[in-house]
């Protein structure tokens, strides 16, 4: 089904990160000629000359651009300038240099944060331009949104085969659990697990709990990206998600139950809720490249909690998994 990748040379930016590791592991099964994972210490994607050097070293047929500067509401509020600049400059320059280098296909991963604050639920791709994003993450969302414009414009003017995907919030084993920059699921898991371990009688949660979110398990997201890379060749961005909505209050209660934490949840309404609701219309992903999420939220959360609590033998992986059949010089570490 994914013979497209056989003997191809790929660059996966962000391949040492949370989503990137899952994508690289998934790719291995399809025997590409090489997977090149640029590390920031060797190839700073904010530096145009470093991008040129990366492309010369890797000689890719396909670039899957996953590298991003990301975080939860707090991180977005603390660093709006750097979140805008670094995400925009990395993507814009990488796409331009890839076009000039003659890359066959460029896969741009956007973000659900690009949607307007009050988008009708479920979010349909046609609503992307109907308003301004939610304020706490607008700089990040707009930086990534400009890459959607760039991809469509390059296709129109240059015939450059760039596609754009809009993944919803991801979670899973190996996620970022740093309380200063993590998203809601790892932040809650860390808070609840640590509260149970230390015998706390309560935990504090941000906001009112009434905002809703949709979540996609990381292995499902990796599969979606590879299906789109192999089978989708159109300019319109495509939602990638599970299609299931849950309130933050319900999510917090579910994580408490899965962790067997029986203390109180104390909500802090002085903290922002973020966008009021998020849930995607995912029909186009099925129609365009045959993707549907297969991991139920409770099942994915249980695996993620087990990983965080120390049962990491299943989920622990190196920054990327070397391919046995590939020359090591093609693998950046």
98-110 CB burial, b ≥16 within 10 A, e <16: bbebebebbbbbb
CB 123 within 8 A of CB 279: yes
- Annotation says 132 is catalytic: no
Q: Which of 30, 85, 132, 140 is catalytic?
A: 140
Tell me the per-residue pLDDT of 42-53, one tens digit each, with 9 for 90 and over.
999 999 999 999
| Residue 1 scores a pLDDT above 70 | no
Higher pLDDT, 252 or 75: 252
pTM, entire model:
0.90
pLDDT of residue 333 exceeding 60: no
**Predicted confidence band of residue 77 (pLDDT cuts 50, 70, 90):** confident
Of 5-14, 186-195, 232-241, 269-278, the poorest mean pLDDT is in 269-278
The structural domains of the chain, ordered by start, are 3-172+214-245+277-294+316-330 (3.40.50.720)
- Residue 326: the pLDDT is 35
Q: pLDDT band for 75, please (50, 70, 90 cuts).
A: confident
Tokens of 313: 């033998």
């Amino acid at each position: 089904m994914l013979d497209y990748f056989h003997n191809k040379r790929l660059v996966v930016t962000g391949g040492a990160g949370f989503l990137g590791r899952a994508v690289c592991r998934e790719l291995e099964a399809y025997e590409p000629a090489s997977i090149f994972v640029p590390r920031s210490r060797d190839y700073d994607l904010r530096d145009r000359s470093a991008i040129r050097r990366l492309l010369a070293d890797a000689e890719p047929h396909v670039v899957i651009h996953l590298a991003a500067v990301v975080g939860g509401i707090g991180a977005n509020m603390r660093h709006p300038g750097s979140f805008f600049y670094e995400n925009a400059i990395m993507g814009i320059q990488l796409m331009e240099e890839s076009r000039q280098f003659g890359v066959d296909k460029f896969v741009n991963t956007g973000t659900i944060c690009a949607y307007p604050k009050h988008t009708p639920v479920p979010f349909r791709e046609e609503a992307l331009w109907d308003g301004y994003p939610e304020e706490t993450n607008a700089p990040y969302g707009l930086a990534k949104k400009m890459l959607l414009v760039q991809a469509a414009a390059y296709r129109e003017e240059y015939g450059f085969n760039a596609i754009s995907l809009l993944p919803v919030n991801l979670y899973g084993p190996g996620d970022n659990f740093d309380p200063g920059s993590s998203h809601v699921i790892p932040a809650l898991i860390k808070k609840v697990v640590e509260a149970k371990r230390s015998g706390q009688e309560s935990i504090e949660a941000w906001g009112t709990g009434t905002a809703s979110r949709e979540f996609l398990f990381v292995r499902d997201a990796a599969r979606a990206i590879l299906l789109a890379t192999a089978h989708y060749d159109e300019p319109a961005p495509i939602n990638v998600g599970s299609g299931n909505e849950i309130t933050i209050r319900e999510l917090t209660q579910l994580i408490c139950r899965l962790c067997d934490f029986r203390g109180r949840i104390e909500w802090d309404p002085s903290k922002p809720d973020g966008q009021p609701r998020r849930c995607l219309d995912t029909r186009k992903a099925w129609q365009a490249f045959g993707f549907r999420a297969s991991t139920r939220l409770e099942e994915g959360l249980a695996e993620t909690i087990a990983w965080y609590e120390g049962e990491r033998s299943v989920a622990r992986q190196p920054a990327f998994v070397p391919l046995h059949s590939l020359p090591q010089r093609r693998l950046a570490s």
